[in-house]
Amino acid sequence: MKQFRTITWGYVAWLAALVIAPMLLILLYAFTVAGNDVVTTRFSLQNFYRFVSDPVFVEVLLRSLYIALITTVICIALGYPIAYVIAKLPEKSNVLMILLITMPTWINMLVRTYAWMGILQSGTVVNTILSWFGVGPVKMIHTSFAVILGMVYNFIPFMILQIHTSLAKMDKSLLEAASDLGASRAQAFLRVTLPLSLPGMISGITLVFLPAVSSFFIPKLLGGGQYVLVGNVIESQFLTAGDWNFGSAISLIMAIIIMLSMWLTRKVDVQPESGKE
pLDDT band at 136; cut points 50, 70, 90: low
| Averaged pLDDT score across all residues of the chain | 85
pLDDT tens-place string over residues 40-85: 577 889 999 999 999 999 999 999 999 999 999 999 999 999 999 9
Provide mean pLDDT across the span 199-225. Answer: 89
Provide mean pLDDT across the span 233-254. Answer: 90
**How far apart are alpha carbons 71 and 229 in whole angstroms?**
14
Lowest-confidence pick of 84-93, 131-140, 150-159, 172-181: 131-140
The CB density around residue 128, as the number of other CB atoms within 10 Å, is: 11
What pLDDT is attached to residue 141? 84
What pLDDT is attached to residue 3? 56
Q: Is 220 left (phi over 0), alpha (psi -120 to 50) or beta?
A: alpha
Cα separations in angstroms, 205 against 64, 121, 123, 212: 16, 30, 35, 10
Provide mean pLDDT across the span 114-137. Answer: 77
User: What is the domain partition of the chain in residue ranges?
Assistant: 62-226
Q: Which of 43, 29, 48, 33 is nearest to 254 (CA)?
A: 48
Query: What phi and psi, each to the nearest 5 degrees, are found at residue 226?
Result: -90, -15
DSSP state of 171: -
pLDDT band at 272; cut points 50, 70, 90: very low
> Is the pLDDT confidence value at 164 over 90?
yes
**How far apart are alpha carbons 105 and 158 in whole angstroms?**
10
What pLDDT is attached to residue 239? 87
Share of the chain above pLDDT 70, in %: 90
Contacts of 100 (CB under 8 A, 6+ apart): none
> Is the pLDDT confidence value at 240 over 50?
yes
What is the reported pTM? 0.84
C-alpha dihedral over 260, 263, 267, 269, to 10 degrees? 120
Cα separations in angstroms, 81 against 71, 161, 200: 16, 12, 13
**How far apart are alpha carbons 214 and 155 in whole angstroms?**
13
Q: Is 160 helix (H, G, I), strand (E, B) or coil?
A: helix
Neighbouring-strand partners of residue 63: none
Higher pLDDT, 269 or 93: 93
**How far apart are alpha carbons 183 and 98 in whole angstroms?**
30
**How far apart are alpha carbons 251 and 94 in whole angstroms?**
40
What pLDDT is attached to residue 7? 63
Architecture of domain 62-226: Orthogonal Bundle (1.10)
Share of the chain above pLDDT 90, in %: 36
| Strand spans (E) along the chain | 32-34, 41-43
Lowest-confidence pick of 78-82, 119-123, 148-152, 230-234: 119-123
